[in-house]
Amino acid sequence: MIALVRTEFTKATRRTRTLVIALLLIGLPTLISVAVKTHGRTRRGPDGEGLFRLAEQSGLLVPAAVLSVTSAFLLIVIAATFAGDSVAGDAAWGNLRYLLMRPVSRVRLLIAKAFVAGVLIWAATVLVALAGLVAGVVLFGSHPVRVPGVGNLVTGPLGSGFELTAGDLLARTAVATGYVAFGFTALLALGTLFSTLTDSPAGAIGATAGVYIVSEILDGISQLGRIRYVLPTHYGEAWRTMFLENRYSHDMVTGLGVQVLYLLVVGTIAAVWFRAKDIRS
Amino acid sequence: MTRRTTLAPVGWGAVRPSVGADPGPGAYHRFAMMTSSVPVVAVDGLAKRFGEVSAVEDLSFTVERGQVYGLLGPNGAGKTTTLRVLMGLERPTEGTARLFGTVVTPSSREIARVGAMVELAAFVPHLTGMRNLRLWWEAGGAHMRDADLETALAIADLGDAIDRKVKTYSAGMKQRLGFARLLLGRPELLVLDEPTNGLDPGEIREIREMITRLSGEGVTVLLSSHHLTEVEQVCTHVLVMNRGRFVASGTVDELIGASGSVYVETDDRERARTVLAAMPGVVRVEPQGEGLVVEVRDARRSELAAALVGAGLRLETIMPTQRLEDAFLDLLATGEAAS
């Protein structure tokens, strides 16, 4: 299994695409930080912009602001790329049949591919946060942050607010990064499943990203009620309360549970399907 | 451009040495080679259907150790599907496919004893030829020291290009690299699906010579091909398929000579005519040019040759007047008429 993971990791990391993604994930937070620094205070707005406004006080908040922005779309597309391409990429090259004729166990191959995709998703999330941290500290320093009263970012101050020390910010940034990365577990499972259904990487990637985007849209329709609670994106922003309300939301735990549920259910479906599938590529 | 040379002689007759109590996936598969009597390949009542479409129907055949067995048939005959089922890529709808006596399932351990090229050789394009070989071998959990990489590289004969990315390779170079990959670990059985596709005439000849050489060293070969000449030159046994069904099988001589005639030249045509006309199984003997055309029903060429040599004649030529191509087309026509 270790050998299989190593070979899959080599295949994935030696692609030009992976390097381009890494450069993008380093460059984008840097660019955003420079833009905020250059143009001064941003207007008040939703949490993402609010986090950037707070980030002007301390570069230690830039990673949270960058995660907030990128996890809504860019990281979804990148995660979908890693997950959706995992099996379909080899199938499109015609290499999948040769791997299976080595032979390697189909389920083990699927697990190895999903594991490598998961590692790359985590690496992407950590990279974007680290790049934000470095750019933020360089441009804004590493000061403590004074957060005005709860809910003030849109509606104005409601309380006395609170202060986050540099240590608090670093610890919560680490938790937020882990939570955002783990929040792509359902996407990883869905992407791997889609990747076994088609020999077209673009199709699998598109379907995976599409499901997440549709999930976000559905999550915005409150009339759907409890159905929204099982959507893979429903608890995706629960981590923001650590920075904006000075508390760890219980939704974060629930969100982790939903991700694990998707991993178990969708992952099992993917394994059963791939094990029985006729390889025609 | 790659250096074009004759393929280096390759082969292996010896049993792979054991590397311990657990020889690992790449090491165990030579042990039974000399002693086992089970067919290397046994297909029994195989059917593969895709919805309403039947790709293979009630197909049975066996390939014995050391044979070079050809699957011959037009496009859509079911050759590739048969090989895919045999390699565990597809599950049969009915019947069984066995490798070395074991029913094949996806990822069967027995598949490790096979070197296969199904359809075109395919690789990870952004990796070098060498890294592709290494990763493929190591994916099975084996060490490169068990792969006999040197022999594989001699087969590939890609020179410095082995360290170039595969996406820069021509179709022929990929096919050569494919041969290198399937020979890693010294497989007992080669499964080759249209093995000379994409190769130039010189490369085709080298591949044929390699197949013949490996066969001579005990490696069993099962190949499908559209090239009748190729099958005729390298195969000892042939199975003709059409529309997924069995049409005929036997040695190449049997298929060619089953209802054919033989051209014979000796140092004494008249005496040869007398000898041959007296043989059972010979229907008619007619002069043609310097020799004789012998129409046979049951007699084999080897029997005709033995009779002539036994009569003290010097045999200069003996060959079927019908080639495999004629026999193939006759068999297909007969099959079509029957169905």
pLDDT digits (tens, 9 = 90+) for A120-132: 999 999 999 999 9
Q: In whole angstroms, give the CA distance from residue B93 to residue B49.
A: 6
Q: A58 or B181: which carries more pLDDT confidence?
A: B181
Candidate from A2-16, A63-77, A246-260, B290-304 with smallest mean pLDDT: B290-304
Task: Indicate the DSSP class of residue B128.
Answer: B
Distance CA(B291)–CA(B315), nearest Å, equals 11
Q: Indicate yes or no: CB of A100 within 8 angstroms of CB of B88.
A: yes
Task: Check A278 against B89: CB less than 8 A apart.
Answer: yes
Chain B residues within 8 A of A273 when measuring between CB atoms: none
How far does B186 lie from chain A, in Å, by closest CA?
13
A103/B89 Cβ within 8 A = no
> Residue A147 and residue A150: Cα distance in Å, rounded?
8
Chain A residues with CB under 8 Å of B49 CB are none
User: Residue B112 and residue A102: Cβ atoms within 8 Å?
Assistant: yes
Q: Which amino acid is at B75?
A: N
Which pair of structure tokens corresponds to residue A112? 């190895």
* Mean of pLDDT over chain A: 89
CA distance A110 to chain B (A): 13
Res. B253 pLDDT band, cuts 50 70 90:
confident
SS3 of residue B312 by DSSP: coil
Q: Which of B124, B137, B139 sits opposite A4 (nearest CB)?
A: B139
Query: Which of B82, B107, B130 should we substitute to test contact with A (largest number of A Cβ atoms within 10 Å)?
Result: B107
Could you give the CA distance from residue B339 to residue B337 in angstroms, rounded to a whole number? 5
When the pLDDT of each residue in chain B is averaged and rounded to a whole number, the result is 81
- Residues B309-326 have pLDDT tens digits of 999 999 888 877 766 677
Local structure of residue B165 (DSSP, 8 states): B
Q: Which position has the higher pLDDT, A251 or B27?
A: A251
Report which of B69, B10, B70, B78 is spatially closest to residue B40, judged by C-alpha positions. B69
Which residues of chain A are within 8 Å of residue B138 when distances are taken between CB atoms?
3, 6-7
Measured between alpha carbons, how far is A233 from A215 in angstroms, rounded to an integer? 6
Q: What is the pLDDT of residue A204?
A: 95
DSSP-based three-state secondary structure for B309: helix
Task: Find residue B285's DSSP bridge partners.
Answer: B294
Q: Which of A18, A90, A102 to mutate to test the interface with B (most CBs of B within 10 A)?
A: A102
Chain B residues touching chain A at CB-CB below 8 Å: 84, 87-91, 106-109, 111-112, 114, 116, 118-120, 122-127, 131, 135-141, 181
DSSP β-bridge partners for residue B240? B72, B248
Cα-Cα end-to-end distance for chain B = 51
- A257 has a pLDDT exceeding 60: yes
Q: CA–CA distance from A253 to each of A171, A177, B102, B278 (Å)?
A: 17, 15, 49, 95
- Tell me which amino acid residue B84 is: R
Q: What is the reported pLDDT for A49? A: 52
A4 touching chain B per CB within 8 A = yes
β-pairing verdict for B282-288 and A162-164: unpaired
Query: CB–CB of B122 and A275 under 8 A?
Result: no
Quick: pLDDT tens for A220-233.
898 888 889 999 99
pLDDT recorded at residue B337? 64
Write a three-state SS string for chain A. CHHHHHHHHHHHHCCHHHHHHHHHHHHHHHHHHHHHHHHCCCCCCCHHHHHHHHHCCCHHHHHHHHHHHHCCCHHHHHHHHHHHHHHHHHHHHCHHHHHHCCCCCHHHHHHHHHHHHHHHHHHHHHHHHHHHHHHHHHHHCCCCEEECCCCHHHHCCCCCCEEECHHHHHHHHHHHHHHHHHCCHHHHHHHHHHHHHCCCHHHHHHHHHHHHHHHHHHHCCHHHHHHHHHCCCCCCCHHHHHHHCCCCCHHHHHHHHHHHHHHHHHHHHHHHHHHHCCCCC
- Report yes or no: A280 at the B interface, CB cutoff 8 Å: yes
Mean pLDDT of B191-203: 84
Residues B76 and B243 sit within 8 Å (Cβ to Cβ): yes
Beta bridge partners of B286: B293
The four Cα atoms A137, A138, A143, A147 give a dihedral, to 10 degrees, of: -60
ipTM above 0.85, yes or no: no
A271 touches chain B (CB under 8 A): no
Picking from A144-148, B38-42, B63-67, which range would have the lowest pLDDT averaged per residue? A144-148
The predicted structure's pLDDT at residue B320? 72
Q: Is the pLDDT of residue B131 over 90?
A: yes
Better pLDDT: B225 or A80: A80
Tell me: pLDDT of A183 over 50.
yes
Name the residue among B16, B29, B184 with its Cα closest to residue B115.
Answer: B184
Where do we find the tokens 């990929």? B174
Among chain B residues, the shortest Cα distance to A17 is held by B126
Amino acid sitting at position A128 = V
Tokens of A201: 């990487």
pLDDT classification of A218: cutoffs 50, 70, 90: very high
Contacts of A188 (CB under 8 A, 6+ apart): A79, A82, A83, A114, A117, A118, A121, A263
| B91 to A14: CB separation less than 8 angstroms, yes or no | no
